[in-house]
């Protein structure tokens, strides 16, 4: 009987270990990431324009600004991403390329 109780305890612990997210909270957190990246893309573009960064230099500057933004968002979440988001990709890569403006 002890083995049976232990297996029930293990299965109930496994269920409790699964992390659930409320859709509203996850959506709100994603909005914060989107707005932060949009705002910092604008600010980064203005700074790049003032400094005269064009071409490859401007491209590298944009990625540097987005990398700093990702680190800042992770720091804001106190480095416990899985508490607020369902994956690291959401914080690090979501919206990363959205701020680029392609012109011919």
Closest of 65, 21, 2 to residue 39, by C-alpha: 65
Is the confidence at residue 52, as pLDDT, over 90? Answer: yes
Angle 55-76/23-51 helices, nearest 10 degrees?
140
Write out pLDDT tens, residues 5-37: 444 444 455 445 555 667 787 888 888 888 888
pLDDT of residue 4: 45
Q: Is the pTM of this model over 0.85?
A: no
| Distance separating alpha carbons of residues 2 and 44, to the nearest angstrom | 62
Q: Report whether 82 contacts 29 (CB < 8 A).
A: no
């Amino acid at each position: 009987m002890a083995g049976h109780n232990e297996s029930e305890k293990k299965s109930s612990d496994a269920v409790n270990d699964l992390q659930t997210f409320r859709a509203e909270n996850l959506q709100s957190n994603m909005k914060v990431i989107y707005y932060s990246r949009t705002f910092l893309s604008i600010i980064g573009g203005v700074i790049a324009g003032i400094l005269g960064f064009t071409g490859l230099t401007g491209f590298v500057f944009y990625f540097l600004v987005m990398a700093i933004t990702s680190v800042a968002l992770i720091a804001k979440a106190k480095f416990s991403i899985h508490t607020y988001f369902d994956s690291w990709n959401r914080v690090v890569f979501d919206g990363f390329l959205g701020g680029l403006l392609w012109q011919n």
